Amino acid sequence: MRTTLKIISLAVFLISLPLARMFAGGPPFLTDDPQPLDYKHWEAYLFTLGDRAGSQFIVEAPAVEINYGALPDTQLHLLVPMTTVGGGSVPTASGLGDMEFGIKYRFVLETNGWPQIGIFPFIELPTGDASRGLGNGRTWFQLPVWFQKSWGPWMTDVGGGMALNSAPGQRNHPYGGWLLQRSFGEHLSLGGELFAQGRDTDNDKGYVALNFGGSYIVNEHFSLLFSGGHSVAADNHTLWYFGLYGTW
């Protein structure tokens, strides 16, 4: 479900990921980061996430995200969700949702005076049954740019982009976020984000959400991730994420 997101005006605390990536945006947050996985390394997330908007809801559970460091500064990304939708006048339906494929490429490394910068374009593939509300019905795209700067135990990510969606009833829209997180020792990171998204359908107004979460590193290969938040402007959204993370 990776809700497509909009305009940027955000701030908060967050948490990071395992020792291999002590600081990183992305899961369990909406704001992503420019940092690719190390060359020839793998990581995987088994997670559930949800978004309740008014009386309607969408839940991805179980869902799997797999990333691979295919080249230096280049990461391949695949997300496969089982999706459930329902609420209000929408009949509850479950099944395979839209799959997501992306390539993250970092083209500027971080220095003392300069952030690292990368792009992370996605292709959203219409593998879900749109007639049951489980998919978009057409291939669509996300084209973001992300920036990251760290100092001591602190790290911030900021960026955003455009979603290009030509499916009936859907709209192109901007999105963006600002994430701030802090590590507390070798195991715990906490933080939050302010995230915004423009109108993605003909019937909504977009939203701005405040989201808090973190991660707990069990060992160098395994972590727990969690977040929850709520919109603070425009449409009413309640968001949550819980996941298991592994790297090798």
Residue 160 is part of a domain; what is its CATH number?
2.40.128.130
pLDDT number for residue 54: 86
The answer as to whether 8 is a domain residue is no
Nearest to 1 by CA among 63, 45, 87, 43: 63
Closest CA to 34 of 204, 187, 172, 149: 149
Residue 10 covered by a domain: no
Query: What ranges in 61-108 are assigned the alpha helix state H?
Result: none
Q: Which helix (H) or strand (E) holds 141?
A: strand 140-151
Q: Coil, helix or strand for 134?
A: coil
Whether 238 maps to a domain, the answer reads yes
Please name which of 147, 141, 172 lies closest in space to residue 160, comparing C-alpha atoms.
147
Residue from 181, 234, 178, 161 nearest 5 by CA = 161
Compute the C-alpha angle 53/179/97, nearest 5°: 40
Count helices and strands in the chain by DSSP H and E runs: 0, 14
Residue 5 lies in a domain: no
Q: What is the pTM assigned to this prediction?
A: 0.87
Q: Mean pLDDT per segment of 10 residues, for the chain of length 248 residues?
A: 39 30 73 97 97 93 98 98 90 96 98 96 96 95 98 97 96 97 96 96 93 96 97 95 97
> Total domain count for the chain?
1
For residue range 189-235, what is the model confidence (pLDDT) as tens digits?
Answer: 999 999 999 999 988 999 999 999 999 999 999 999 999 999 999 99
Q: What is the pLDDT of residues 47-70, one digit of tens each?
A: 999 999 988 999 999 999 999 999
Structural domain boundaries, residue 159: 19-247
Q: Judge whether 13 lies within some domain.
A: no
Torsion of CA 119, 227, 203, 206, to 10 degrees: -60
Would you give the distance in Å from CA 201 to the centre of its chain? 19
144 beta partners: 161
| Assigned token pair, 162 | 């455009």
Residue 9 lies in a domain: no
Residue at token pair 């969606």: 165
Within a domain: residue 225?
yes
